[in-house]
Structure 1
Amino acid sequence: MIINREYLTDILLRLLHTPSPSGFCGRIASMIEQEAAALGYASERTPKGCVIITVPGKREETLGISAHVDTLGAMVRSIKSNGTIRFTPIGGYMMSSVENEYCRIHTRDGREYEGTVLPVKPSVHVYGDAREMKREEANMEIRIDEHAASKDDVLALGISVGDFISWEPRVRQLPNGYIKSRHLDDKAGVAAVFALLRGLRDAGVAPDRTLKVVISVYEEVGHGAAYLPPDVRELIAVDMGAMGDDLSCKETDVSICAKDSSGPYDYEMTSKLIELAKQHRIPYAVDIYPNYGSDASAALRGGSNIRAALIGPGVHASHGMERTHMDAVANTAVLLGAYVME
């Protein structure tokens, strides 16, 4: 099975440019359904909004693969008297990581407005303590790029409490294979899964077991794949590999996570993934992520009686201005392919 790098890059860019903060994933879920249909695979949408793609296998036994398409973002918490927006975060990120970021406000009647995230004291020329002010929710606001000098002005635009806010991804694809963008967590993982599906389709081969691919939409808030189809006995969660102190993973590696905040992953599955990476000469790293959770974590905490493992491309500066290398994304698809064909 060969991974089509051109297709991999194309779908990753399309995913990154489609806004999808947790809870606002209808548009991207439709894109996922259309892409699955174009590859010839059946899909269904769960009541929660996840998309499940089925790939018939040689045996009736079912292997689950999950990846999440929802991202960090925000929601309108209140409209201030000066015409700015106070927002509440969706997902766990440092408030300093979105300071000065461009964003879009999505109204419930389908309108979109651009804005910029700023501290309430945005200028050192005006506020003597602007540098020292703590970057926390109460001290941040969104300046709307419209004539909006009062709360009534904002309401007249159709903006209301509870409207979703998405961050500008700022995608940059570099000639040397690096790609930097917000939301590589976990759109790089979703792209790897679709590269696997495209590879199976192009090769005209069936996986050993039937695959049920769960594209979840609430992972960043903790319950993405809490529900799994009852016939799933094993689950490979595909999510980004973190990088930092005492971690081995690099942006060119496939991360194999042995343990995260939900506890250790299945010993036999993890060992098999390590052996397959060695056999196929895939650059990989085994790491432990104490501040991390995945779709597999949600499934296990939700009561699923499964074995689970976690892999994904190495991503630098997770939940910030992220970066990975396309080799890591492609090799994640290769490792998945080796596992599903066993």
Structure 2
Amino acid sequence: MTYPKTNETIVLIKDLVSIPSPSGNTNEVIHYVEKFLTGLNVETRRNRKGGLIATLPGQDQTQHRMLTAHVDTLGAIVKEIKSSGRLKLDLIGGFRYNSIEGEYCEIETSAGDKFSGTILMHQTSVHVYKDAGKADRNQSNMEVRVDEKVHNADDVRALGIEVGDFVSFDPRVQVLPNGFIKSRHLDDKASVGILLQLIKQIKNENLQLPYTTHFLISNNEEIGYGGNSNITPETVEYLAVDMGAIGDGQSTDEYTVSICAKDASGPYHYGLRKKLVELAKQNDVSYKIDIYPYYGSDASAAIRSGNDIIHGLVGPGIDSSHAFERTHAHSIENTSKLLYHYVQSEMEK
């Protein structure tokens, strides 16, 4: 059984994943978040990269915290309009073509018009192509079939579709009665939903935070630089909230909060990691400590760009990351609880 705030968070997550926002084209979802926070009377501002920063004042304004989650997702961009009227893609973010084979998609033109499509192998029909199962899933063989009456490149261009237009993938979100949530883009919209619910809880309970706390909703994490700027000089602790990766050799699961010890960028701050574990133990939060070998976060990007901060990473466990993702309400709940206690805790020394 989950507590009511988790159900509210899941509604937020469902709304968020349903808004297309591949890296580079995130204004619509940022506007959704902005409107949500404005409704709570929370001060927000946009940075020049298009991300959103919300600030809650604390008792100590000489030391700040920053929590971040990213709202940009994997996606694609039109690389070429083929003579057949189909589209060649270039990928946005780190994933494989096989993970989008057969996926419904949406092409958005620079004028804002949207067209439906399906991502397919050129050699899809087994009745025509002998190598349909063996052909490589790559840029040369995969294409978008546009759901319009088009026969050639000129027909496609007449619709307003051009090279450089963004392509987003159908999230196919489902919330099941047993607590599972499956959808594309739970990385990292599950965490964004958690942070929005946390801010709402802080406001509703009139909590006085010990330190001024910033919430960065970044919009370029999937391409490596979403959370590497707009960090105030007073910021001491910087905590990225992003998915925990599940697989062979991993301790992370879909029911606990994952606390990252190390990723491809190196170890996270040892003192902050130990404090997060201690907070979890003290407050009956189920957690796992893990290492993500092929992973980077907004926190690691912030460190690389020279910020003198204590950095950490926690998040819900997400199965099949950068593909057919799934998590559970228990992971959402445990992540939410840890963050609720973290923002009220004393600073790591």
Q: TM tier, shorter chain?
A: over 0.9
Q: CA deviation at 1:6?
A: 3.3
For the pair 1:139 / 2:124, whether they are aligned, the reply is no
SS in 1 for 2:275: helix
RMSD across aligned positions (CA): 1.0
* Cα contact 1:3–1:333 (8 A) shared by 2: no
Counterpart position of 1:307:
310
Alignment of 1:255-334 (within 5 A): 255-334=258-337
* Cα contact 2:47–2:230 (8 A) shared by 1: no
Query: Moved runs in structure 1, 4+ residues, more than 4 A?
Result: none
Q: CA deviation at 1:324?
A: 0.2
* Cα contact 1:16–1:183 (8 A) shared by 2: yes
Q: CA deviation at 1:3?
A: 6.9
For the pair 1:339 / 2:346, whether they are aligned, the reply is no
Alignment equivalent of 2:226, drawn from 205, 224, 227: 224
Counterpart position of 1:59:
60
For the pair 1:236 / 2:239, whether they are aligned, the reply is yes
Name the amino acid aligned to 1:292: Y
SS in 2 for 1:40: coil
Give the whole-Å Cα distance in 2 for the aligned partners of 1:228 and 1:248. Answer: 33
Alignment identity in percent?
A: 46
Name the amino acid aligned to 2:50: G
Give the whole-Å Cα distance in 2 for the aligned partners of 1:3 and 1:23. Answer: 34
* Cα contact 2:43–2:55 (8 A) shared by 1: yes
Give the whole-Å Cα distance in 2 for the aligned partners of 1:247 and 1:44. Answer: 38
Give the whole-Å Cα distance in 2 for the aligned partners of 1:265 and 1:3. Answer: 32
* Cα contact 2:287–2:334 (8 A) shared by 1: no
Q: Taking structure 1 as the reference length, what is the TM-score of the superposition? A: 0.98
Name the amino acid aligned to 2:241: V
What is the aligned length? Answer: 341
Alignment of 1:80-91 (within 5 A): 80-91=82-93
Q: Taking structure 2 as the reference length, what is the TM-score of the superposition? A: 0.96
Name the amino acid aligned to 1:183: H
Summarize deviations over 1:168-209 as a string: whole Å, max 9, x none.
000000001110000000000111111111111111112111
Name the amino acid aligned to 2:59: K
Unaligned runs of 5+ in 1: none
For the pair 1:254 / 2:242, whether they are aligned, the reply is no
Counterpart position of 1:124:
126
Give the whole-Å Cα distance in 1 for the aligned partners of 2:243 and 2:209. Answer: 24
Counterpart position of 1:14:
15
Counterpart position of 2:74:
72
Name the amino acid aligned to 1:211: T
SS in 1 for 2:245: coil
Summarize deviations over 1:78-133 as a string: whole Å, max 9, x none.
10000000010000111100000000000010100000000111111110011100
Counterpart position of 2:216:
214
Name the amino acid aligned to 1:269: L
Alignment of 1:62-211 (within 5 A): 62-211=64-213
SS in 1 for 2:68: strand
Give the whole-Å Cα distance in 1 for the aligned partners of 2:102 and 2:322. Answer: 16
Name the amino acid aligned to 1:185: D
Give the whole-Å Cα distance in 1 for the aligned partners of 2:164 and 2:235. Answer: 35
Q: CA deviation at 1:329?
A: 1.2
Question: Compared with structure 1, are the counterparts of its residues 3 and 213 closer, same or farther at alpha carbon in structure 2 (3 Å cutoff)?
Answer: farther
Summarize deviations over 1:281-316 as a string: whole Å, max 9, x none.
111100011100000011111111111000000000
* Cα contact 1:84–1:141 (8 A) shared by 2: yes
Give the whole-Å Cα distance in 2 for the aligned partners of 1:124 and 1:198. Answer: 52
Question: Quick check: 141-150 or 34-43, which moved more?
Answer: 34-43
For the pair 1:245 / 2:251, whether they are aligned, the reply is no
